[in-house]
Amino acid sequence: MPGLAEKLGTLYDYLLPYRRRLIQAVVLAVVVTLIGLLPPLVIKVIVDHLLVGGITWLFWPMVIALAAVPIINQLVGKAFRLLTQNTAAKLTFDVRFGLYRHVTALPLGYFDKHSTGMVLERLMGDVNKFQQLVTGQVLTLATDVVMATFSIYVMLAINWHLALVLLAVVPLYVLNHRFFVRRIRASNEQFRAKMDDVSGHLEERLTGTALVKSYGMERTETRNFTVETHAALQHSSRARGLMVAFSNTAELVHWAGYRGIFLLGCYLVIDGGMSYGDVLAFTSYAMFLLGPAVRFSQLVNQIEQTMVSVRRVKELLGEQPEPDRGWVVNHPDASFRGRVQLDKVSFAYEPDNPVLKEVSLDVPAGKTVALVGRTGCGKTTLTSLLYRFYRPTHGRILLDGHDIAELDLGTLRKQLAVVPQDAVLFEGTAAENIAYGRSNATREQIVAAAKLAEIHDVLENLPNGYDTPLGQAGAKLSGGQKQRLVIARAVLVDPVVLILDEATSSLDTESERLIQRALRKVMRNRTCFVIAHRLSTIQHADLIVVMDEGHILETGTHAELLARPDSHYGNMYRRQFARIGRDKEQAAAVA
Ligand X SMILES: Nc1ncnc2c1ncn2[C@@H]1O[C@H](COP(=O)(O)OP(=O)(O)O)[C@@H](O)[C@H]1O
- Catalog residues that contact ligand X under the rule CB under 6 A: 112, 349, 355, 375-381
Complete edge-to-edge strand list for the sheet that includes strand 543-548 = 416-419, 497-501, 527-531, 368-372, 543-548, 551-556
Specify the 3-state DSSP secondary structure of 236.
helix
112 binds, among ligand X, Mg ion, none (CB under 5 to 8 A by kind): ligand X
Minimum distance from CB of 117 to ligand X (Å)? Answer: 17
Three-state SS string over 548-561 comes to: ECCEEEEEECHHHH
349 binds, among ligand X, Mg ion, none (CB under 5 to 8 A by kind): ligand X
Minimum distance from CB of 531 to ligand X (Å)? Answer: 7
Minimum distance from CB of 389 to ligand X (Å)? Answer: 9
377 binds, among ligand X, Mg ion, none (CB under 5 to 8 A by kind): ligand X
- By C-beta, is 366 or 420 nearer to ligand X? 420
- By C-beta, is 309 or 381 nearer to ligand X? 381
- What's the rounded Cα separation, in Å, for the pair 487 and 431? 13
- By C-beta, is 13 or 554 nearer to ligand X? 554
Minimum distance from CB of 484 to ligand X (Å)? Answer: 22
Helix axes 138-158, 19-36, angle to 10 degrees: 30
483 binds, among Mg ion, ligand X, none (CB under 5 to 8 A by kind): none
Minimum distance from CB of 249 to ligand X (Å)? Answer: 56
User: What DSSP letter does each residue of 498-526 carry, written as one string?
Assistant: EEEESTTTTS-HHHHHHHHHHHHHHHTTS
User: What does the binding site for Mg ion look like in residue numbers (CB under 5 A)?
Assistant: 380
- What's the rounded Cα separation, in Å, for the pair 177 and 183? 10
Which DSSP helix (H) or strand (E) runs through 497?
strand 497-501
Whether residue 434 contacts residue 488, with contact meaning beta carbons closer than 8 Å, is answered with yes
381 binds, among ligand X, Mg ion, none (CB under 5 to 8 A by kind): ligand X
- By C-beta, is 143 or 380 nearer to Mg ion? 380
355 binds, among ligand X, Mg ion, none (CB under 5 to 8 A by kind): ligand X
Helix axes 509-523, 479-492, angle to 10 degrees: 10
CA atoms within 13 A on the CB side of 101: 6
232 binds, among ligand X, Mg ion, none (CB under 5 to 8 A by kind): none
- By C-beta, is 228 or 548 nearer to ligand X? 548
Complete edge-to-edge strand list for the sheet that includes strand 340-348 = 354-363, 340-348, 394-399, 402-403
Whether residue 552 contacts residue 342, with contact meaning beta carbons closer than 8 Å, is answered with no
- By C-beta, is 108 or 175 nearer to ligand X? 108
Minimum distance from CB of 397 to ligand X (Å)? Answer: 15
- By C-beta, is 492 or 528 nearer to ligand X? 528
Minimum distance from CB of 363 to ligand X (Å)? Answer: 18
